[in-house]
Amino acid sequence: MKKLSLPAAFFLVVFCAALCAQEPQVVIVRPQQIDDVLVNPGIGFNTFQRFNGDTLNPGSGWTEGFPIEYQEFDGDLTNPGHPATSTAYFRVYWRFVQPEKDKYNWDMLDKALKTAAQRGQTLILRIAPYGSGPERDVPPWYRAIVGDKEILESRWRVDPEDPRYDQYFGGLIRAMGERYDGHPDLECVDVSIVGYWGEGSGTHLLSDKTRKALINAYLDSFKKTYLIFQPLNGDAPDPGVLVEGLPIAASWPDGRTNDCGLPLRHLGWRMDCLGDMGFWKDRQPNWCHMQDVYPQDIIKSGMQDAWEKAPVTLEICGTLRSWKGREGYGADVVKYIFDQALKWHISSFNAKSSPVPDEYWPLVNDWLKRMGYRLVLRKLTYPSQVRPHGKLAFTTWWENKGVAPCYRKFPFALRLKNAKRTEVLVTDADIRSWLPGDNLYDDAVFLPLDMPEGEYDLEVAILDPRTLKPKVKLAIAGVGPDGWYKMGKITVRETLK
């Protein structure tokens, strides 16, 4: 091997030392975790037929299906006796959305979306075809067209096999999708095709043609906004009947999938009657939804793993007040119910805008800390110095301590800030892939050419893509009044030391 002469070897050592001297130190930050209840987009309790700041339902009852009766708003967004929320659930009957055959009441939906946004919420929307009484019937003009005839299922008000049902009710869904698909304040649309309150009773009785036509009205019309649906009716011999043969991502224990050669849609799911531990014990002893329907049907419907790509939202059986009063649930039963919901990867919960009994609050708060996503930045590394127009490489380790990912692509960003300049540097992170547990995201961002030299605060946040303001609260200390989390100092200079 050829030996270097003394001058050459000396030059190499000096050159390496010079290079090494220019390498900035690596700053390591380990943020402190906090235990607060966090109100974040798309997760937690819903308000139902109400918005943040509204008075709750009195007693143990609730309203649904009718247009919202807007309460006078005094500017206070708190919900006394109820958790703060980021989502409002609005359920309305077809007759109120399409009062005339050729006229849609978009003003009603526009107002609901606008009010939700003004109250710091997004809207979950279900248009139900009808309810259980004459005042909840299909639109009068549609009743005049189809008349009264014998119906196959007791909870159907009209025959869905009549092609005019898809023409008009399916037509409403298609028109709604054309107008609202992708609306930033529309959290998701709750698929509803037949049955009282739109809950799907008798879905298994539909012909394959009708079932597919009604479901496709949603699939074809809402390609940006998430869809959720209720496959778990409890009355179908096969809970997968609503899913099979459609381009909906699903898989069954026996190896079947919906691999139909078309791109598959990821739909979320919902179910009613969370917490039924024996509501109908007088008529059906030793039977309840929590133990005899949901654990089995979540698997049999093919939707056990749907939570990885789309949200799970659940609705209470009765109200929390009726759990305590009529049912007499103690803390052990409530904890069991909440734990089951976490096992099913719940993101949001409709308690029907009914107050939380005082005894349940500790359990509710613990539940809220695990429902949906809860992002803890465990570690961040970055260089102590960076050049203008230079590369700021960083590494991050996150822990999602919730039971689901965030389903919206809120961008993760770094911010450099001092008295003279504020620069937001948006990354390519896709937080929708951060499932429960550990997640790594390492990347680099580049500073602008005209970045002034000086010392800056380095901050991080997850942003609203429209406003580029912080949107998702992190479960760490150090948040500033504007929602950014301070990590440390970084120096911008042309010549690194």
Domains of the chain, first to last: 21-36+374-492 (2.60.40), 44-368 (3.20.20)
Q: Which of 20-34, 125-139, 246-260 has the highest mean pLDDT?
A: 125-139
Strand pairing of 44-48 and 87-93?
Answer: parallel
Complete edge-to-edge strand list for the sheet that includes strand 375-383 = 26-29, 375-383, 391-400, 437-446
Nearest to 381 by CA among 487, 493, 497, 479: 487
Average pLDDT rounded to a whole number, residues 223-245? 81
- Phi-psi domain of 135 (left: phi exceeds 0; alpha: psi -120 through 50; beta: other): alpha
Inform me whether the pLDDT recorded for 304 exceeds 70: yes
Query: Given pLDDT bands bounded at 50, 70 and 90, which one contains residue 235?
Result: low
Place of tokens 């698929």: 191
Structure tokens at 406: 């965030």
- The percentage of the chain sitting over the pLDDT mark of 90, rounded to a whole number, equals 81
Query: Given pLDDT bands bounded at 50, 70 and 90, which one contains residue 233?
Result: low
Note the pLDDT of residue 258: 87
Mean pLDDT over each residue of the chain, to the nearest integer: 92
Strand pairing of 454-463 and 485-492?
Answer: antiparallel
- The percentage of the chain sitting over the pLDDT mark of 70, rounded to a whole number, equals 94
Query: Given pLDDT bands bounded at 50, 70 and 90, which one contains residue 2?
Result: very low
Inform me whether the pLDDT recorded for 12 exceeds 70: no
| CA 76 – CA 51 distance, rounded (Å) | 11
pLDDT-wise least confident of 58-72, 124-138, 294-308, 442-456? 58-72
- Is 399:435 a contact under the CB 8 Å cutoff? no
- Is 365:464 a contact under the CB 8 Å cutoff? no
Average pLDDT rounded to a whole number, residues 238-245? 83
Nearest to 184 by CA among 239, 224, 227, 128: 224
| CA 273 – CA 31 distance, rounded (Å) | 40
Note the pLDDT of residue 38: 98
Single pTM value for the model: 0.92
Inform me whether the pLDDT recorded for 481 exceeds 60: yes
Structure tokens at 489: 């100092």
Place of tokens 């099913």: 344
Query: Given pLDDT bands bounded at 50, 70 and 90, which one contains residue 236?
Result: low
